[in-house]
Every structure is written in structure tokens, then in C-alpha cells.
Amino acid sequence: MGFDPGLRKTGWGIIDVQGSRLSHVANGIIKTDNSLSLAERLVQLYDGLSQVISDWEPVSAAVEETFVNKNPNSTLKLGQARGISLLVPAMAGLPVSEYSPNHIKKSVVGSGHAGKEQVTAMLGILLPSVKINGEDAGDALAVAICHAHSGGAHGRLSEAIGNSGLKGSGAQIIMKGAKA
């Protein structure tokens, strides 16, 4: 599962990994009501992310690292939303990884300075017939793909299988309720 955190909109994306094959499971955006206080908006974000994790039961999560805006107030708000994006999966017992925007782009496109159009085009190639529910959801799918390519999903899954006593050569990430 990948997260693209933001206070107004936080994107989420879930993929399935079977060997080197990736497939789309789900994606979406959690929006907060900007007429509410900061604390109330963070609660909305917390509740929305908690519901997504409860519905899909992913096995690991990844969050895009914060970049610094020119406006320090915007950076602070983004950091608070990012904190919720780290907290919710961690509280659900999921291992959480973090990746820089350049690392994500390099993992998906092959260039750390790729444009959004290039990332979107590669999402269509890597996840055929995907319907992306907004730019933030697409960014979250890119985070999930980066996590899979970086071994975050595979390594934690192999560890979980090893600890469970299950044997077999190829691991699969299977999520309850997943509709591929």
C-alpha cells in the first residue's frame, strides 16, 4: 500500500505483487473539509486511512517523504498529514517504509527527475487497465510500486511467511477483499 500524504487530499493505492508481476487492487483519495479546524481535519484523515486499511488489510505500507515548500506553514501542515499517514498503518501493525519523491520516480520511470506525465504513462504500462481516481491516487500507486521494486513488500512478506512456518518458492501478497 502506498500513501501520497496531503492535508486537503491524501492519495492511497494498493497493488498485488506476485514475483515480479504487479497488479492493481484499489486506489482512491481521502479528502478533508477545509472549513474544519486543523485538528478535525487530521481526525478525518485518520478515520479515512483507518477505514481503507481495515477494508483491504494490506501487509505493508509506504509513504512519500516530505519535500519543503516555500511556505513554511504549508510544509508544517503537510508534515502533520504525513504523520497521520505514518501513524495509521503503524498502529495497524504494518511495517512502514518511506521513499523520497526522486527515488519513487526513478523506481517507476527510470529517472528521478521524471515529470508527472511520464509517471502516469508508466502506471498505465505497469498496471494495465488501471483506472486512477485522481492525481494523488496515482502518486500513491507510484509509491506502492516503488515499495515493491525496493524490496519492502517482498522482504517483509518473506519474513512473515518464514515466521508462519509456510513453505514454498514464490511469495504472494494476498489482501482480504482484493478485487484484481
d(CA 130, CA 136): 14
**47 carries an active-site annotation:** no
Tell me which DSSP letter residue 37 carries.
-
Sheet holding 21-31, edge to edge: 21-31, 9-18, 2-4, 61-64, 96-99
- Choose the catalytic residue: 16, 98, 136, 139: 136
Whole-number Å distance between alpha carbons of 122 and 76: 31
**Choice among 16, 64, 98, 139 that is catalytic:** 64
CB contact at 8 A, 139 and 34: no
Is 4 catalytic? The answer is yes
Query: What is the C-alpha separation between 123 and 134, in angstroms, rounded?
Result: 13
Compute φ and ψ for 54, nearest 5 degrees.
-65, -40
Active-site residue, from 4, 16, 98, 139: 4
Taking Cα atoms as reference points, which of 26, 16, 10 lies closest to residue 86? Answer: 10
Which of these, 155, 149, 99, 97, lies nearest to 122 by C-alpha position? Answer: 149
- The residues carrying an active-site annotation are 4, 64, 136
